[in-house]
Amino acid sequence: MSSSTAITKVLPHKFSIANGLEYYSMALPVEVCKFVIYFLGNENCIIMADVIIQLDYTMDDTVIRVENLSKRYRIGNRNGWASYGSLRESIANASKYPIRKIKSLAKKEPLEEISEIWALKDVSFTVKRGETLGIIGRNGAGKSTLLKVLSRITKPTSGRVVLRGRVGSLLEVGTGFHPELTGRENIYLNGAILGMTRHEIERKFDEIVDFAEIEQFLETPVKFYSTGMYMRLAFAVAAHLEPEILLVDEVLAVGDVEFQKKCLGKMGQVAQEGRTVLFVSHQMTSIREFCSQCIWLNQGIIKDKGISNKVIKNYMVSGTSNSEWIFPSLSITKNPYFNPSKFCLVDEDLNSTSSIFSADAKVGVLIEGEVEQVSNALTIGFAVFASEGELLFWAYHTDAPKANWPPIKKGRNRLVAWIPPHLLNEGSYRIELIASLHFQEWLIEPGKSAPALWIDIRGGLSKSPYWMTVRPGLLAPHISFQLIR
């Protein structure tokens, strides 16, 4: 705690609301503190493992301070006991426990123990007023857990978070929406959940509707809305809450490109007004353009933090500088349509090769996997990214006319694709495996769960005497010119 921050007074009374966190009232009558904390969004507070304490800030410009924050989850069941269930299940499990215990002793086998994982482990950072902080990392890194702790949805196991100001969050699409209520009714409901007063909602109502682009569906129950409409309305309400701190998880991926730009523009406006934004995304381009600072989470631990460009570059080149993936298990994607067994770079003889290529050479990408159930919707391919995360292109085995698609059969399949010479500029590029059922579901999604290869392009750009150095840009194609008479 900084010298400019002081706990004014702790009253002996404590009470709990909502998520079970204990709130100790400070320097005011208990009833007043209850009203302030519950209805005004618990401004200026510390979130600790078992207590939230009101603070008096005087000089510090820091609006978020995270100190040694950890969150542990239990996975699996202990002796068949779930962490939640009905009274009938609890009584049945209790009655069966002695029998299981006797059997385990007779077999000299221990009863099943509960496993634990640390979604966050000793995470510490600060964010000042008006900063935009990006949070990156692969799936399961702890990004969403961190935002849930900051939003006071999840209770931390240890450590603390100091927040200064009202927090608005958009963590899941449609949070706070009732499917039977209309769009209009849900604006009032969702706004109230996010801490807006009725007067504030009415003042912002037209602006929310215009931003969400749902005016003609305003009197329609939201159960008939598409996922994109849900997302637009949820973001519009959260963004117009005018919080001091705005937390946004990767919900923008649901919307179309134009609305994503609109959302990023709104978040930029929020930041320019002196408010703080924390933004979780797998889209490195959005993080780079929007966020001045960035944190890279890896298995619940901060791997790197600092200026966004530097952190993103370190993230993109980390731990994947290989030219070959061999999958020991065919159940990596746990689906019957396509399970990869090998993903690698190959030369013209289809032999595995290093990651270094000349710009005038073909780059072969080999994809091998097992198919248990043939689907006409299956698409297999790869995505190519620059070293700092810019997406260059996707390539699928279904890009050609249907008559030219390589036939996918049940059993083992091997596909090879060739990146043409004189396409990529000198530099490092990331190639990620893609597999999906077209317009149905991802099997392996680029930027999230996809295995990645790395390729380094060195030399061979051109034999022209005028092309002697690396040119600007990510691509360096040879374009043919002809004189027209």
Domain, as residue range, for 418: 325-457
What is the rounded average pLDDT of the residues 171-197?
77
> Are residues 130 and 182 both part of a single domain?
yes
Structurally, how many domains does the chain consist of?
3
> Are residues 329 and 375 both part of a single domain?
yes
Question: Which residue type occupies 17?
Answer: I
> Are residues 295 and 415 both part of a single domain?
no
Taking 3-state DSSP, the helix, strand and coil percentages for the chain, each rounded to the nearest 5, stand at 25, 35, 40
Query: Between 28 and 206, where is the model more confident?
Result: 206
> Are residues 212 and 258 both part of a single domain?
yes
Token pair, residue 198, equals 């009725």
**pLDDT tens digits along 215-257:** 889 999 988 988 778 878 888 877 776 778 888 887 665 556 6
Q: Domain of 176: which CATH number?
A: 3.40.50.300
> Are residues 303 and 331 both part of a single domain?
no
pLDDT at 258: 74
Among 46-50, 114-118, 207-211, the range scoring the smallest mean pLDDT is 46-50
> Are residues 373 and 231 both part of a single domain?
no
> Are residues 125 and 267 both part of a single domain?
yes
In which band, very low, low, confident or very high, does the pLDDT at 406 lie, cut at 50, 70 and 90?
very high
Answer whether residue 79 is part of any domain: no
Answer whether residue 476 is part of any domain: no
> Are residues 330 and 311 both part of a single domain?
no
Query: Between 221 and 89, where is the model more confident?
Result: 221
> Are residues 308 and 434 both part of a single domain?
no
Concatenate the DSSP letters of all residues of 443-484 into one string: EE-TTTT--EEEEEE-S-S---TT--SPPSSSB---------
Q: Look at residues 33, 60, 87 and tell me which one is the last residue of a structural domain.
A: 60
Cβ proximity of 299 and 311 under 8 Å: no
Answer whether residue 396 is part of any domain: yes
Answer whether residue 382 is part of any domain: yes
Q: Most confidently modeled of 72-86, 268-282, 319-333, 407-421?
A: 407-421
Answer whether residue 470 is part of any domain: no
Answer whether residue 105 is part of any domain: no
> Are residues 379 and 445 both part of a single domain?
yes
- Beta pairing class for 411-419 and 441-444: unpaired
What is the rounded average pLDDT of the residues 369-395?
91
Cβ proximity of 394 and 417 under 8 Å: no
Q: Domain of 334: which CATH number?
A: 2.70.50.60
Answer whether residue 336 is part of any domain: yes
pLDDT at 246: 85
> Are residues 278 and 131 both part of a single domain?
yes
Answer whether residue 443 is part of any domain: yes
| Three-class secondary structure of residue 255 per DSSP | coil
> Are residues 134 and 272 both part of a single domain?
yes
Beta bridge partners of 414: 368
